[in-house]
Amino acid sequence: MNIYLAGTQGDKGGLTTAYSDLFLLESFHYLNDSNLEVYKNHKFLLDSGAFTFMNKKSGNVDWDQYITTYAQFIKKHDIDLFFELDIDVIVGIKEVERLREKLEKISGKKCIPVWHKSRGLAYWQKMIKDYDYVAIGGIVTREIKRKDHRIFTELLRMAKENNCKVHGLGYTNLKGLKKYPFYSVDSTSWISGQKFLNIMQYVGNGNFITHRPKENQRGINPKRRLEYNFHEWVKFQKFAKNNL
C-alpha cells in the first residue's frame, strides 16, 4: 500500500529534501511553478484544493475559471496523478461531471474521480469500469461513518475485479489499513503532533507509540517535533509499501 503524506504545504520547511521517492500528496492551493519542483523528486498526487480555496474566498466561486487554471497547471507541468473537483455537496453531481470533462479535455489526461456515498453503488460500478484509478471520499468528513467502513470490503473487491486501483482519501486508521487493501491512502496524521504536542514514534510492524509530554516538556521546539514526526511516518510509509 502506498501511504501519501499530505500537508507539507509547499514543503517550506524542507522536510522532504533528505529523501527521494517519497509518496506525497499536496493541494493545488499551495503550489506554484517554483515549489512544484520539490515534489517532482517524489511520487506525487495532486489534490484540487477546491475546498481550501472556497473556505478562504468570500462570495461565489467561479468554478469554470478555477478548473481552467487547475487543468492548465497540470498540463504545463505534465502531472500524471490528480483528483477531480469532488464538490458534489456544493454544486451537485451533474456539475461535477461537467467540470471533470473540462478538466480532462484541457489537461489531456484522465483524472482520479472521487466517489461519495451519495453517488450510489451503480455510480461506483461505472467509475471502476471507466477509470483504472479512483478514490473514495467522505471519510474525513464522516459522510462514511466509522461503523460503515465495512463497505470498503465490497467496494475494493469490485474494483479489483475490474483491475482498478483505489485511493482512500484521508484514511489512515492503523487497524483499518491492515484490514482493507487500498492501493493507496493519504494522511496528515503526522501533523497532529503539532496540535496535541505529541511525539509519534514508529516502533515497527505498522505501529506507533505516542509520547505525550509532561508539563515541563511542552516547550520543545515545534519545528524539531514536526521534523521528527514526519521522519517517523516516512518509516511507516516504507513499511506499508512492502507489507500492506
Q: Which of 168, 190, 212 is the last residue of a domain?
A: 190
- 152 neighbors 121 (Cβ within 8 angstroms): no
Based on the fold, state whether residues 85 and 206 are members of the same structural domain: no
- 45 neighbors 82 (Cβ within 8 angstroms): yes
How far separated are the first and last CA of the chain, in Å rounded? 5
- 71 neighbors 50 (Cβ within 8 angstroms): no
Residue 65 structural domain: 2-190
How far apart, in whole angstroms, are the C-alpha atoms of residue 159 and residue 153?
10
**What's the mean pLDDT in 184-213?**
90
Check whether 14 has a pLDDT greater than 90.
no
Q: What CATH number does the domain containing 46 carry?
A: 3.20.20.70
Cell numbers for 228, please give them: 521528527
How far apart, in whole angstroms, are the C-alpha atoms of residue 237 and residue 156?
21
Q: What is the pLDDT of residues 102-143, one digit of tens each?
A: 999 999 999 999 999 999 999 999 999 999 999 999 999 999
Based on the fold, state whether residues 157 and 199 are members of the same structural domain: no
Q: What is the pLDDT of residues 41-53, one digit of tens each?
A: 899 999 999 988 8
**What integer pLDDT is reported at residue 102 of this predicted model?**
98
Based on the fold, state whether residues 171 and 83 are members of the same structural domain: yes
Check whether 212 has a pLDDT greater than 90.
no
**What integer pLDDT is reported at residue 53 of this predicted model?**
81
Check whether 216 has a pLDDT greater than 60.
no
Q: Which of 147, 162, 190 is the last residue of a domain?
A: 190
Per-residue pLDDT band for 194 (boundaries 50, 70, 90) equals confident
Phi first, then psi: what are they for 200, rounded to 5°?
-110, 110
Based on the fold, state whether residues 61 and 114 are members of the same structural domain: yes
Based on the fold, state whether residues 201 and 166 are members of the same structural domain: no
Based on the fold, state whether residues 213 and 154 are members of the same structural domain: no
Based on the fold, state whether residues 78 and 106 are members of the same structural domain: yes
What's the one-letter identity of residue 203?
Answer: V
CA 87 to chain centre: 15
Based on the fold, state whether residues 128 and 214 are members of the same structural domain: no
CA angle, residues 120, 146, 115, in degrees to nearest 5 = 30
Based on the fold, state whether residues 7 and 53 are members of the same structural domain: yes
